[in-house]
Amino acid sequence: MFFRLLSAVRRQRPGRGWRNWSSGRSGVSASEAHSVALPTQAQVVICGGGIMGTSVAYHLSKMGWKDIVLLEQGRLAAGSTRFCAGILSTARHLTIEQKMADYSNKLYHQLEQETGIQTGYIRTGSVFLAQTQDRLISLKRINSRLNVIGIPSEIISPKKVAELHPLLNVHDLVGAMHVPEDAVVSSADVALALASAASQNGVQIYDRTSVLHVMVKKGQVTGVETDKGQIECQYFVNCAGQLLWMLTEGFISGTGRVASCLGALRRTRSPSSLRARTSWRFRICRKTGITLSPC
């Protein structure tokens, strides 16, 4: 898998801001790559080069944000993102999650064309089985919500399930829901494609660079301390995955220019409004920056 990631990146032309990775590709030794100097200032520092961090970098740069630095302590997409099964399912209970998944599905569908990096996107469709009437009612509710927001799906009979998947035993089924546009991707490759596009848009990406500490003054982020030096910044986006809490614990206040992204970012009304799975709500806004408030 990792070799596949490397070869995927090798196929891609390095972007303007692709630092250690581009050095590695051109045959420069690891020690030389490590000697690449970090900038001392940035508008936004993103910590974590998983699907979350690369997605934030991609979207901020697309929205016109400048001077963004992404820091990854190891290799890009080598955290949880590397182990993800890559199932892109829109069949979720909350409409906001359905919209988010639908947005991701559409984005990933065209990402390969946009970046030239293979993302492993395959529109497989998905079938959700019901063995009880209660489960079928639950699926019918999800089906209605999907249809309301324009995502094709239908409730199907066990006979139709057998036609779609002849190897399935359908004798104990009372029905099922079919979502034909659901897909699978290689999440690590998607992260690399997002990073590549972000890099082309000017985001500076440094792997093998750890954020050690987030500097805060009067409740506001002023910068980050890394193992390669300090970077002053106005905004810090914490996409450190499972290690996220280690960086922000103890200084998150009611409002502040810091955002923590755990699990999937959930879109709210617009692409610029993001919601974390934690109990903190945050918003990335062009004028006021990233703000955070308790839900």
Ligand X SMILES: Cc1cc2nc3c(=O)[nH]c(=O)nc-3n(C[C@H](O)[C@H](O)[C@H](O)COP(=O)(O)OP(=O)(O)OC[C@H]3O[C@@H](n4cnc5c(N)ncnc54)[C@H](O)[C@@H]3O)c2cc1C
- The answer to whether residue 102 forms part of the interface with ligand X (CB under 6 A) is no
- The answer to whether residue 211 forms part of the interface with ligand X (CB under 6 A) is yes
- The answer to whether residue 170 forms part of the interface with ligand X (CB under 6 A) is no
Q: How far is the CB of 133 from ligand X (least distance, A)?
A: 28
Reading the block at residue 237, the tokens are: 């986006």
SS3 string of 72-83? CCCCCCCCHHHH
- The answer to whether residue 23 forms part of the interface with ligand X (CB under 6 A) is no
- As a whole number of angstroms, the longest Cα–Cα distance in the chain is 65
Reading the block at residue 195, the tokens are: 């990073």
Distance CA(238)–CA(260), nearest Å, equals: 5
Residues 233/47, Cβ–Cβ less than 8 Å:
no
- The answer to whether residue 198 forms part of the interface with ligand X (CB under 6 A) is no
Please name which of 249, 176, 251 lies closest in space to residue 218, comparing C-alpha atoms: 251
Q: How far is the CB of 191 from ligand X (least distance, A)?
A: 7
Q: What angle do CA 62, 66, 71 make, to 5 degrees?
A: 90
- The answer to whether residue 243 forms part of the interface with ligand X (CB under 6 A) is yes
Closer residue to ligand X in complex, CB, 24/50 = 50
Q: How many CB atoms lie within 10 A of CB 252?
A: 19
Closer residue to ligand X in complex, CB, 51/221 = 51
Applying CB under 6 A, the span of 58-66, 79-87, 172-180, 274-282 interacting with ligand X comes to 79-87
Closer residue to ligand X in complex, CB, 156/231 = 231
86, 223, 256, 289: which one contacts ligand X (CB under 6 A)?
86
Q: How far is the CB of 108 from ligand X (least distance, A)?
A: 11
Residues 127/178, Cβ–Cβ less than 8 Å:
yes
Which residues ranging from 34 to 53 are in contact with ligand X (CB under 6 A)? 47-53
Give the orientation angle of helix 2-11 with respect to helix 187-200, to 10 degrees: 30
Closer residue to ligand X in complex, CB, 68/170 = 68
Closer residue to ligand X in complex, CB, 136/192 = 192
Please name which of 232, 228, 230 lies closest in space to residue 207, comparing C-alpha atoms: 228
- The answer to whether residue 182 forms part of the interface with ligand X (CB under 6 A) is no
Strand order in the sheet with 273-275: 266-267, 273-275, 280-285, 289-294
Distance CA(248)–CA(211), nearest Å, equals: 11
Applying CB under 6 A, the span of 22-30, 194-202, 238-246, 248-256 interacting with ligand X comes to 238-246
Please name which of 235, 244, 234 lies closest in space to residue 278, comparing C-alpha atoms: 244
Q: How far is the CB of 200 from ligand X (least distance, A)?
A: 20
- The answer to whether residue 81 forms part of the interface with ligand X (CB under 6 A) is yes
- The answer to whether residue 85 forms part of the interface with ligand X (CB under 6 A) is yes
Distance CA(51)–CA(267), nearest Å, equals: 15
Which residues ranging from 108 to 147 are in contact with ligand X (CB under 6 A)? none
The count of residues interacting with ligand X (CB under 6 A) is: 30
- The answer to whether residue 240 forms part of the interface with ligand X (CB under 6 A) is yes
The site for ligand X (CB under 6 A) is made up of 47-53, 71-74, 78-81, 83-87, 187, 210-211, 239-241, 243, 247, 263-264
